[in-house]
Structure 1
Amino acid sequence: MLPPAAHPDFWKDENATAYIATNPHRVEDAVGLVEFAAQAEETRALIYFQTSGSEGVPKWVGLARRAMQASARAVNAHLECTAADRWLIALPLHHVGGFSILARCYESGASFFHTEEKWDAAAFASLCAAQEITLASLVPAQVYDLVQSKVEAPSRMRAIVVGGGGLSKELGIRALELGWPVLQSYGMTETASQVATEPLEHLRAGYDPECLEVLPCWNVDTTPEGALMVRGMALASGYAIRNADATWHWQAIDADAGFTARDRVQVWWHGTRRFLRFVGRESSFVKVLGELVSLPALQRRLERVLIGEGIDLRAALIWPVPDTRKDTRLLLVGEGQDKHDAARLENLRARFNLDVPGYERLDAVLVVPAIPRTPLGKVDARGMAELVRKLL
């Protein structure tokens, strides 16, 4: 069955009611939200997407239809999307990354095919070929599967926007070699998907995830600490947050002041075009022996070592734990079952620690049965923290 947003009237209805993009596995988190949204003019016609809240409290980002349409027009212009294109929606429609494709199709006249089949790299490639897909959005874990399976891209595919996390340069280049035209993007639910995305010309020049072009719908700046500040017509209206007593309250986002993210970025001009480099989230920096260390940078180094060793990129990661002497200890957490796996991880740790400063070295290995992940393949941070706590 087609989602309501697939119909043009969904985007044109000036008297629209709230639409809740509910995760079918977490419907309880939306209880009472429709009734709450209907109580005020500023909340009653918004589209709501769930995002992470403190201590597990349900928190929903409210986006106006006009905001999603502004984002869609900017993405369409960036990707040169026209009515001749055909999108494949392989991401869940309760995520802004999947839902926003429907707005892009409405704005451009492009067609789409929505699949809810369980993810499989070979099946995805076959579906793209059968449906003559030209555009798609994927998360890094899905691109990894395509590369590991050595699946070649169908000829009509001209751009794949990669979001929901960073795709390493090594993996991006390997994807390009297989014909998958991957473009790294950076965005968030509060910005109706993308803030910045690699330009199409990178598909000819080579994958570069550290040089993303800011889309024309955004004004971006940074705080003195390097946190992203963003203003624009595609910005969310605010948050609907459920209280402990099951009532709801509204937290508006000031459109004039804009939104300050917890992400650190670098921004610069090149002629008339503005570019952005994602440095890391506030929580992804830790102090080790008094030095500020970027966990994403260390993870990228680990991925290079894993690729060199022919090891599954999802089989190991770096995890910080508090330490009285060093502020933070860095653990190499890897999947395994026995002492042979532990020995393999120790060798991997030794390889990683070559030619890095002392404060960036991995202190120890922690073997786990499996690294907790979300359905989209991202590390489940809460599950990971609980697993490490139990094993240490």
Structure 2
Amino acid sequence: MVSGKNELDLASSKNEILLNPRWPKEDHEKLWSLATHVQDERHLQGHVWIATSGSTADSVAGTKLVALSKQALVNSAKSVNTHLQSTSQDVWTEVLPHFHVGGLGIEVRASLVNARVVPALKEQRWDVHHFYEVLNSEKCTLSALVPTQVYDLVTHSYKAPSSMRAIVVGGGVFEAELYKKARALGWPVLPSYGMTETASQIATASLLSLAQSEYPPIGLLSHAQVQKNAEGFLQVQASSLFTCYAQNTSEGRKSWDPKVNGWFTTEDQGELIDGALYIQGRSKDYVKIGGEGTNVARLRSVMENVALQMNASWPSQLAVLDMPSDRLGSEIHLVSQLSEADTEKVVQLFSEKVLPFEKVRKIHYVKEIPRSDLGKVLWGDLRKQL
């Protein structure tokens, strides 16, 4: 049962616009107007508008919106419920926002099986101590988290309550080292892959994977199909796919449907092997340094694992990014909230694990790395800050 103002009428033909309430009023109004205009223009009914979580827009008002039909949300929820063997006996704890598919997905899943949802944010913000208290007091059984939140649980050495039987982890790269540390503390974490455009995850590790400690394969869920195009990008066909995009641009309001014959081409490169998805990175993560190609996402993964081995809290205080270079075309920089001494330790170990041209060429020390509500680095804001 989903209580309070967050309840969504899945049977209604009414459209819903879910935006971050902390956005500036002026931007909020522009996005609201955009969604209203496009849904009238396209005669949409029974849809929910949600902002893309990975938006790289220059301003909030330019954020790309995704229209998801309520049926798409239901199709996703049914598939996830089946995968997690969710019933009315489950108690979901919700710390992902209602205006994000991660939070909304929990509410829809729970409503379909009449399970209970327990909010676990403190004053509408993530607080790991409050979350842990709620898990114990409410005997929660299921949840969905992003890797940053798993970091926090591991950092504080919290052991999983015996009531917890599965936690879907998505919304970012879930490193193998972090996975192992979380499993060592008893957390039943299931790596997943999904996006706003598919109304949540389309691939998730199985419950059986919790019987072993090795990083598990991420199996495709029953409602989705995946193939690879000629350029190596993953294409998705699913009963949970979005209807269209909408965005405020310099040329005015814009709406479009990028699907071709029902297939949506993602920005992710990867492949499907024996029913499991293997993600290799995004096109924008591939850069050339002095003529040598490298994947920045892989370098971030190396840095996170190195930092995690030294201190569980360090990965959230570091960010690797590529920056333009007159001489090399691109070069690798590190942004750090750590002390110079600790940063140098991490950089030294990182250097031992990458090729010479992939080493960090400059370190930027900052008080805070800009992040979204889900803990994702806001790369556009960070680049401007530097």
What TM-score, normalized by structure 2, do the two folds share? 0.90
Give the letter aligned to residue 359 of structure 1: F
Q: Distance in 2 between matches of 1:318 and 1:243?
A: 29
Once the 2 structures are TM-superposed, how far is the Cα of residue 199 of structure 1 from its aligned partner? Answer: 1.3
Q: Distance in 2 between matches of 1:267 and 1:223?
A: 12
Once the 2 structures are TM-superposed, how far is the Cα of residue 379 of structure 1 from its aligned partner? Answer: 1.1
Q: Distance in 2 between matches of 1:146 and 1:376?
A: 15
Matches within 5 A, 1:1-392: 2-3=3-4, 6=7, 10-13=9-12, 16-26=13-23, 27-33=28-34, 35-40=36-41, 42-51=43-52, 52=55, 54-56=57-59, 57-117=62-122, 118-208=125-215, 211-244=217-250, 248-254=253-259, 256-269=261-274, 274-310=275-311, 312-336=314-338, 341-388=339-386
Give the letter aligned to residue 246 of structure 2: A
8 Å CA contact retained: 1:183, 1:207: no
Q: Distance in 2 between matches of 1:379 and 1:65?
A: 29
8 Å CA contact retained: 2:72, 2:242: yes
8 Å CA contact retained: 2:246, 2:256: yes
Q: Distance in 2 between matches of 1:316 and 1:32?
A: 37
Any runs of at least 4 consecutive aligned residues in structure 1 with deviations exceeding 6 A, and if so which?
none
Q: Distance in 1 between matches of 2:63 and 2:302?
A: 35
Once the 2 structures are TM-superposed, how far is the Cα of residue 353 of structure 1 from its aligned partner? Answer: 1.1
8 Å CA contact retained: 1:232, 1:255: no
8 Å CA contact retained: 1:235, 1:255: no
8 Å CA contact retained: 1:125, 1:152: no
User: Cα RMSD between the aligned structures?
Assistant: 2.1
Q: Distance in 2 between matches of 1:255 and 1:103?
A: 28
- In structure 2, stretches of 5+ residues that fail to align are none
Once the 2 structures are TM-superposed, how far is the Cα of residue 253 of structure 1 from its aligned partner? Answer: 4.3
3-state DSSP of counterpart to 1:187: strand
Give the letter aligned to residue 93 of structure 2: L
Once the 2 structures are TM-superposed, how far is the Cα of residue 300 of structure 1 from its aligned partner? Answer: 1.9
Give the letter aligned to residue 314 of structure 2: D
Q: Distance in 2 between matches of 1:229 and 1:235?
A: 11
State the percentage of identical aligned residues. Answer: 32
Once the 2 structures are TM-superposed, how far is the Cα of residue 207 of structure 1 from its aligned partner? Answer: 4.6
8 Å CA contact retained: 1:228, 1:261: yes
- In structure 1, stretches of 5+ residues that fail to align are none
Once the 2 structures are TM-superposed, how far is the Cα of residue 283 of structure 1 from its aligned partner? Answer: 1.4
8 Å CA contact retained: 1:182, 1:207: no
Q: Distance in 2 between matches of 1:53 and 1:307?
A: 27
Structure-2 change in CA distance of 1:43 and 1:250 (3 Å): farther
3-state DSSP of counterpart to 1:63: strand
3-state DSSP of counterpart to 1:141: helix
3-state DSSP of counterpart to 1:142: helix
8 Å CA contact retained: 1:5, 1:11: no
Q: Distance in 1 between matches of 2:382 and 2:293?
A: 22
Higher normalized contact order (CA 8 Å, seq sep 6+, divided by chain length): 2
Structure-2 change in CA distance of 1:188 and 1:150 (3 Å): same
Once the 2 structures are TM-superposed, how far is the Cα of residue 30 of structure 1 from its aligned partner? Answer: 2.7
Once the 2 structures are TM-superposed, how far is the Cα of residue 37 of structure 1 from its aligned partner? Answer: 4.5
What TM-score, normalized by structure 1, do the two folds share? 0.89
Give the letter aligned to residue 342 of structure 1: E
8 Å CA contact retained: 2:121, 2:131: no
Once the 2 structures are TM-superposed, how far is the Cα of residue 156 of structure 1 from its aligned partner? Answer: 0.7
